[in-house]
Structure 1
Amino acid sequence: MRRIVVLGAGYAGLMTAVVLAARTRRRADVRITLVNATGRFTERLRLHQTATGQQTARLRVPDLLEGTGVEFVRGRVTGIDAAARTVRVDGERVLPYDTLVYALGAVADPAGVPGVEDHAHTLDSARDAELLADRLGAGTVVVCGSGLTGVEAAAEIAERHPEADVVLLGRDEPGSSLGRKAKAHVAAALDRLGVRVLSGVEVVKVLPDSVELADGGDVRADVVLWTSGVRVSPLAAAAGLEVDGRGRIVTDAALRSVSHPEVYAVGDAAAVRQAFGVLHGTCQSGMPTGVHAAGSIVRELTGKRLEDFRFGYYHAPVSLGRHDAVVQFTRPDGEPRRSALTGRIAVWYKETVSGSPWPTYRRLRTFPGMGSVWPRGGRYTR
């Protein structure tokens, strides 16, 4: 019996389990177990909607796995023994493995800023988003972090709660990674929604009623949302796997750990190098890593040579409330091209192409052959 354990049921981990189950359906010698801290699937792409009280689909991991034969274990991973090839869940249950897929993802990084963990909200889970939704209303909401997550959250909050004073602050201008057209549209949308933008600032402390800035100033806040940076679990480093400076598992071209080849790493928790550099964590790149890891494991089972993972970014969709968006098309390395969509057509594109992974999981679960080649929109080829 080949025991395959997948840790984490986010976009990448669930994709690995579903594709792997579909492609080993007729094998009685393969047992797949998926471990996740909760039974709810977190649609991270929609957490900014959940955070404003909107009703989004409540997807459950057991339902998404129905009919696949994958065993679901609900519990928090508390330790990995790489030498013994075991995983400890909730400090008590021990799961042995022959092949491990590490897909524990990433969470918001307080970056050593005092007060973040005590006084700021995050968008790490649906529960976190729901707690934020309960706090929103009239008052000042400060969104710390002017990256695309911060932009989406600030726009959604401002549109849903026009009575609120929404402040978006960070080191860079909103949309700084986008092309000229898309960046200008982001600025215009935030201005239309009444979002106050403070660029070139750094938060050094979060207090119950304000945030302190590095220049000595402060911004009053009734609610603080922290979207600046992410960090990964320390479990991989603690287990002795080779990790990079951010704690991500360093992989070879087939997505195996360079120090422990029986361990695959996918999604945000993996340091996957391509010709243009190391992938940055997104759903766009995470799901293809899951597909490729599943394919690699199947090739191992059948004695075939493993193939290299190749990926190129294609777009950067950014919602600006429910009625506006931008889609920046990119080069494979993520640098913006000249073309971009804005307004209603961008809203349609984002909802159609990247609004929810559930249709993709359903198709792969039903038609296992689809897992051999990722759709062209993800620029993943095998």
Structure 2
Amino acid sequence: MTDILVLGGGYTGIAAAIRVAVRTRRIGGRVTLVNASARFTERLRLHQTAAGEKLADHSLEDVLSGTGIRFVQGRVAGLDVGRREARLDDGRVLGYDKLIYALGTVTDVSVPGVAEHAHVYDDYQGTTRLAERLAALDRGTVVVAGGGLTGVESAAELAEAHPGLHVVLVTRGRPGAMMGEKARAYLDAVLERLGVEVRAGVDVTKVLPDAVELAGGELIPSDATLWTTGTRGLPVAAESGLVVDERGRIVVDSALRSVSHPDVYAVGDAAAVTQPFGVLHGTCQGGIPTGLHAADSLAATLRGKTPKPFRFGYIHQPVSLGRKDAVIQFTRPDDSPRRWFLTGRAAVAYKETVSSSPITTFRLLKRGLVPVWAFALTAGLA
């Protein structure tokens, strides 16, 4: 038997676990998945949770049913890559022959006051605390820091769900800066219609209990602050001796193996995956394909075959703008914007399909199938 340990039960970890279980079933693969929570968190929908929406509850036991994967609930506290062991926070130790590291990233809280006074989207519990805080406010100001996809989606969602609150989006650049001019103009117009105040071109230097401080000393009063800018890999990777980049992500080769410890595969946000156009940024769009490829690479290695190099190209930037609007920017493989984009109801339907696709993907993977969208992303068809 070959013991395969998957750390992390997010989109990428689950996809990798199911795929490798299917691909190694006949050659003695025994797969264990470790996750801190017993539930699968739909990170693509955390902005909806923050706005107070009740979402479907998916237990990992249900998601993994029928796969033969053993689920262990626990938080990873340490990794000994020399002895091939993972240590959990309750003292349990799990050995492995091959490891798939899918622990993702956490919000970078190095800006003073963020850890103490800001809400972040690192887990479901933290997001529900923000939802409870907002529900208790009849009026007031909510500051959302960060103009990327998460910040924009959150600002729009909160403004729509809580019309009595004043939502301020503060960002170093321009919201939706990665989009084409027309799609970005549509995004700007929707934010204005929802009453979101956009403060672009500013840096937050400190978060206070009741305000955020900008470079230059200006204070923006805030009854609740949501921090969505910047991520880092968990320290467990660097502390184990795995080679990581400046953001704590595990550096991998073309087969998604650690460059320093080839029995460790890293996927999703936790991996620094290089393509001809640069290093992949952390999204579900890129994460699940890395999980599938790592599983295939591992299975090929166990069969004595040479793994194929990972290939990937982006296809879109889907952004929800509340429950009634959205904008979808279609992209080239390097994530630069094409001239095509969707808005309005068509974009809402498209975005909902994207957000719900992982659950469908898991079902297909159990049957040994790969979704068409994942094949397109990794086969150079994008």
Common fold: TM-score over 0.5: yes
What's the counterpart of residue 124 of structure 1?
122
**Residues 374, 380 of structure 1: 8 Å contact kept:** no
Q: Deviations over 1:54-75 (max 9, x none)?
A: 0111111111001111011100
What's the counterpart of residue 223 of structure 1?
224
**Structure 1 residue matching 2:68: 3-state secondary structure:** coil
In the alignment, the residues of structure 1 paired with residue 71 and residue 374 of structure 2 have an alpha-carbon distance, to the nearest angstrom, of 27
**Structure 2 residue matching 1:247: 3-state secondary structure:** coil
In the alignment, the residues of structure 2 paired with residue 303 and residue 376 of structure 1 have an alpha-carbon distance, to the nearest angstrom, of 24
What's the counterpart of residue 62 of structure 1?
61
In the alignment, the residues of structure 1 paired with residue 305 and residue 380 of structure 2 have an alpha-carbon distance, to the nearest angstrom, of 18
What's the counterpart of residue 304 of structure 1?
305
In the alignment, the residues of structure 1 paired with residue 111 and residue 274 of structure 2 have an alpha-carbon distance, to the nearest angstrom, of 30
What's the counterpart of residue 279 of structure 1?
280
What's the counterpart of residue 196 of structure 2?
195
**Aligned amino acid, residue 77 of structure 2:** T
TM-score by length of 2: 0.96
In the alignment, the residues of structure 2 paired with residue 100 and residue 159 of structure 1 have an alpha-carbon distance, to the nearest angstrom, of 43
**Structure 2 residue matching 1:6: 3-state secondary structure:** strand
Q: Deviations over 1:49-94 (max 9, x none)?
A: 0001101111111110011110111001011111111110115111
5+ residue gaps, structure 1, are none
In the alignment, the residues of structure 2 paired with residue 98 and residue 159 of structure 1 have an alpha-carbon distance, to the nearest angstrom, of 49
What's the counterpart of residue 113 of structure 1?
111
In the alignment, the residues of structure 2 paired with residue 356 and residue 108 of structure 1 have an alpha-carbon distance, to the nearest angstrom, of 25
TM-score by length of 1: 0.96
Q: How far apart are residue 381 of structure 1 and its match?
A: 5.5
**Aligned amino acid, residue 117 of structure 1:** A
Number of residue-to-residue matches in the alignment: 378
**Aligned amino acid, residue 10 of structure 2:** G
Q: How does 1:1-382 map to 2 (within 5 A)?
A: 1-27=1-27, 29-110=28-109, 112-136=110-134, 137=137, 138-365=139-366, 367-370=367-370, 375-380=374-379
**Structure 1 residue matching 2:25: 3-state secondary structure:** coil
**Residues 143, 154 of structure 1: 8 Å contact kept:** yes
**Aligned amino acid, residue 267 of structure 2:** V
**Aligned amino acid, residue 167 of structure 2:** V
**C-alpha spacing 1:168/1:176, structure 2 compared with 1 (3 Å):** same
In the alignment, the residues of structure 2 paired with residue 182 and residue 354 of structure 1 have an alpha-carbon distance, to the nearest angstrom, of 20
**Residues 7, 13 of structure 1: 8 Å contact kept:** yes
In the alignment, the residues of structure 1 paired with residue 186 and residue 310 of structure 2 have an alpha-carbon distance, to the nearest angstrom, of 35
**Residues 317, 328 of structure 1: 8 Å contact kept:** yes
Q: How far apart are residue 379 of structure 1 and its match?
A: 4.3
**Residues 79, 91 of structure 1: 8 Å contact kept:** no
**Structure 1 residue matching 2:39: 3-state secondary structure:** coil
Q: How far apart are residue 346 of structure 1 and its match?
A: 0.6
**Residues 37, 77 of structure 1: 8 Å contact kept:** yes
In the alignment, the residues of structure 2 paired with residue 377 and residue 127 of structure 1 have an alpha-carbon distance, to the nearest angstrom, of 34
Q: Deviations over 1:272-313 (max 9, x none)?
A: 111111111100000000000111111112111210000000
In the alignment, the residues of structure 2 paired with residue 374 and residue 142 of structure 1 have an alpha-carbon distance, to the nearest angstrom, of 35
**Aligned amino acid, residue 51 of structure 1:** A
5+ residue gaps, structure 2, are none
**Residues 288, 380 of structure 1: 8 Å contact kept:** no
**C-alpha spacing 1:179/1:381, structure 2 compared with 1 (3 Å):** closer
Report the aligned-residue RMSD.
1.4
**Aligned amino acid, residue 127 of structure 2:** A
**Residues 45, 355 of structure 2: 8 Å contact kept:** no
In the alignment, the residues of structure 2 paired with residue 130 and residue 356 of structure 1 have an alpha-carbon distance, to the nearest angstrom, of 23
In the alignment, the residues of structure 2 paired with residue 10 and residue 381 of structure 1 have an alpha-carbon distance, to the nearest angstrom, of 25
